[in-house]
Chain A
């Protein structure tokens, strides 16, 4: 008789999380020169994180660990490496596990007299994203986290479509030129994109609505981009996708309730907003809300057959068609909506 052999199920594909730092992880204030100056001299202890972000990162790690999934946390910042110590101190203080931080070496550009590159963050970010992708396992899935302060939704979407092999060639070159990527960096980015292109791997792009941008402007980016007003909303979508376990969602909600004054009503309104915007189905919203209600983090739910019937009706009403297909985005429409840029010297020459 053949001996019974237990085969371990294959490990789930690794998860690669890429985080922007300012306005996404940190509550950076640099709208004025004075604030910029102050930020440059801040220590790790002075820096303040966006409420709930620490628990989201820890939750992602904990959920992945429970499932035997390898996970990498990487930060990309357009700030100079000179503030690296303060950032590393802050991450250590928060107990954040991370695998790398990429800074933009502004001093090097200054030394070389490349002043244009000082202001150009798009090419830097795309290059770093592609570099991280090339170093990661081929089957790694990705979650990207940014904010609405600069052009994260667009940069991340371009990156996601590049690595999925949906955006390349002349269209990619046109997009890169239009979003202000330094002309000298374009060939390198296009070549690297072609090298890493494979099956779709960016699952979600989360945009922290630090500036409270109208959510409608993100519709063009499709369902992959989730604009969220707080990290509870981010956590809800992560939990509905299975990247966060219910206990970790509970922890995020608890942290916001204890540390940022979120009342059960505020949390409930945030959840309802996500459902209305179509990022979570009413059924999933109900399912995820149950343990939160039990823990007193959401108001007590409605009871009885009449309320059940009302909820079902609401669910039917909210059932809307998918936000967009999984095909490449309409970059022509997206570029048309971008504010006009000053023409680059190369563009002027042509």
Chain B
């Protein structure tokens, strides 16, 4: 069973929710978690919950990176839990890392300490989000990459993102041939400027992936593509828009219930469906989003991750290690060359 390093101090609710998530994993699986952070605080949480110590190790460090810190300054804290954990993975003490901490610092720490896979030009931060499915067996989650690691991209980098996302979806979502789409402002292949047009041409000619052409913003939440490729700036805006819409919907529903008794009654009647919808759009269910392109694996969880989200992320990280996702990506890129 692989060892997964977990940034105990990362996120809005670290170390409490992070440690509880790891404790849950220790009882349910044989995965070894290496909790990185302040030992006394981690132990204080552990003593309040059931856990299996055989599957938990602690790597002590004093510092932590705040969610609002600028990434460049944050990664200068050499004894911060994120940096210590990333180094532990780079040194081979753990096989992958999970963190709910500062996203920019996570990407920068990986760039500083992890090695890129042969042939990979840029790493990509992917995001897993729920969407409508179009056929039986299609995963209810889609992969959007890049969502912020590489702000501006060239066509060859977008092609590599497609290969990386496709390899990840093959291994993790168990889709034999994931559909890959290019996020653009229209479905026609010449749309979106030179870079996107060139990326479209290359992707269409690429063997080994099922390219479905351009996908537009409204296609993001439909099942047209399983892997959606874009540059970091666009991906980040799209992701935040999806999250914002989901949050506004929840707020509107809540305030509707407060406004009128009849609406409250109606919502009560629909509560089963609303619960299912909330479960579908609840980021806490999906664990983490991978940073792809490095020899080592990194899963970035939402900053507000609950213990179950952390537990899911640790399990996904272990699965990605077991299924040799980096090797799959390296093979796909090597085949392209």
> Known: A270-B54, A314-B60. Is A265-B39 also a contact (CB below 8 A)?
no
**Given A265-B32, A276-B39, A314-B60, do A229 and B48 touch, yes or no (CB 8 Å)?**
no
Binary B-proximity of A215-255 (CB < 8 A = 1, otherwise 0): 11001000000000110010000000000000000000000
Give Cα distance in the complex from A7 to B49, angstroms: 54
B50 touches A212 (CB 8 A): yes
Is A215 a contact of B52 with CB atoms below 8 Å? no
* Any A CB within 8 A of the CB of B115: no
State whether A273 touches B47 (Cβ < 8 A).
no
Grouping DSSP codes into helix (H, G, I), strand (E, B) and loop, the B interface class, with mixed when no group exceeds half, is mixed
20 pairs, CB–CB < 8 Å, chain A vs chain B: A212-B50, A212-B51, A213-B50, A214-B47, A214-B48, A214-B49, A215-B47, A216-B47, A229-B53, A233-B53, A262-B54, A265-B32, A267-B54, A268-B57, A269-B54, A269-B57, A272-B53, A276-B43, A314-B60, A317-B60
Q: Give the CA-CA distance A265 to B30 in the complex, in Å.
A: 12
Q: Which residues of A contact B (CB under 8 A)?
A: 211-216, 219, 229-230, 233, 262, 265-270, 272-273, 276-277, 314, 317-318
Question: Does B246 interact with chain A (Cβ within 8 Å)?
Answer: no
Chain B residues with Cβ under 8 A from A314's Cβ? 60
Name the 7 nearest CB pairs between A and B, nearest first: A273-B53, A216-B47, A212-B50, A266-B54, A276-B43, A215-B47, A269-B57
Q: B55–A269 contact, CB under 8 A?
A: yes
Closest chain A CB from B22 CB (angstroms):
12
Interface pair B56/A269, CB less than 8 Å apart: yes
Q: A269-B53, A272-B57, A273-B53 are in contact. List 10 more A-B contacts (CB 8 A).
A: A216-B47, A229-B54, A233-B53, A266-B54, A268-B57, A269-B54, A270-B53, A272-B53, A276-B58, A317-B39
Say yes or no: A216 contacts B54, CB within 8 Å.
no
When the two chains form their complex, are residues B54 and A230 in contact, meaning their CB atoms are under 8 A apart? yes
Question: Within B260-305, which residues are at the interface with A (CB < 8 Å)?
Answer: none
Closest to A209 in B: B50
Q: Is B241 close to A, CB under 8 A?
A: no
Task: Decide yes or no: A212 and B52 within 8 Å by CB, A276-B39, A276-B43, A317-B60 being known contacts.
Answer: yes
Residue of B nearest to A229 (CB): B53
B32, B39, B48, B50: the one within 8 Å of A269 (CB): B32
User: Secondary structure of the A side of the interface?
Assistant: helix
Instruction: Give me the interface of B with A, judged by CB distance under 8 Å.
Output: 3, 27, 32, 39-40, 43, 46-58, 60
Which of the residues B47, B56, B57 comes within 8 Å of A277, measured between beta carbons? Answer: B47
| A268 nearest CB neighbor, chain B only | B57
Distance between Cα atoms of A302 and B278 in the complex (Å): 49
**Which residue on B lies nearest to A256, using beta carbons?**
B54
> How many angstroms between the C-alpha atoms of A258 and B27 in the bound complex?
22
Task: Considering the complex, give the chain B residue whose CB is closest to the CB of A274.
Answer: B53
Which residues does chain B contribute within 8 Å of A272, judged by CB atoms?
A: 53, 57-58
Closest Cβ of chain A to B8, distance in Å, is 14
User: Which residues of A have CB within 8 Å of B49?
Assistant: 214
> In the complex, what's the smallest C-beta–C-beta distance from A252 to chain B, in angstroms?
15
Nearest B residue to A261 via CB reads B30
Task: Check B55–A216 contact: CB distance below 8 A.
Answer: no
Residues of A close to B46: CB separation below 8 A: 215
State the CA gap A290–B27 with chains docked (Å). 29
> Would you give the shortest CB distance from B321 to chain A, in whole angstroms?
15
B50 touches A214 (CB 8 A): yes
Say yes or no: A216 contacts B48, CB within 8 Å. Answer: yes
- List residues of chain B with CB within 8 A of the CB of A211: 50
Contact partners of B27 in chain A: CB under 8 A: 212
A268→B60 CA distance, assembly (Å) = 16
Nearest Cβ in chain A — how far from B30, in angstroms?
9
Q: How far is it, in angstroms, between the C-alpha of A195 and the C-alpha of B57 when the chains are bound?
A: 48
**Minimal Cβ-Cβ distance residue in B for A271:** B53
- Bound together, the chains give a CA A151 to CA B325 distance in angstroms of 48
Most buried by A among B39, B50, B54: B54
Q: How far does the Cβ of B3 sit from chain A's closest Cβ, in whole Å?
A: 8
Known pairs A212-B27, A265-B32; A273 contacts B56 (CB<8 A): yes
Interface centre among A213, A216, A267, A314 (most CB of B within 10 A): A216
Cα–Cα distance between A219 and B46 once the two chains are bound (Å): 13
**A215 / chain B contacts, CB cutoff of 8 Å:** 46-47
The complex places the Cα of A216 from the Cα of B47 at a distance, in Å, of 5
User: In the bound complex, how far is the Cα of B55 from the Cα of A230, in angstroms?
Assistant: 12
How far is the CB of A340 from the nearest CB of chain B, in Å? 22
Q: What is the minimal beta-carbon distance from A223 to any residue of chain B, in angstroms? A: 15
Chain B residues whose C-beta falls within 8 Å of the C-beta of A265 in the assembled complex = 3, 32, 57
Query: A266, B55: Cβ atoms under 8 Å?
Result: yes
Shortest CB-to-CB span from B177 to chain A, Å, is: 38
Task: Point out the residues of chain A lying under 8 angstroms from B54, CB to CB.
Answer: 229-230, 262, 266-267, 269-270
Most A-side CB within 10 Å, residue of B3, B49, B53: B53
Give the CA-CA distance A209 to B106 in the complex, in Å: 37
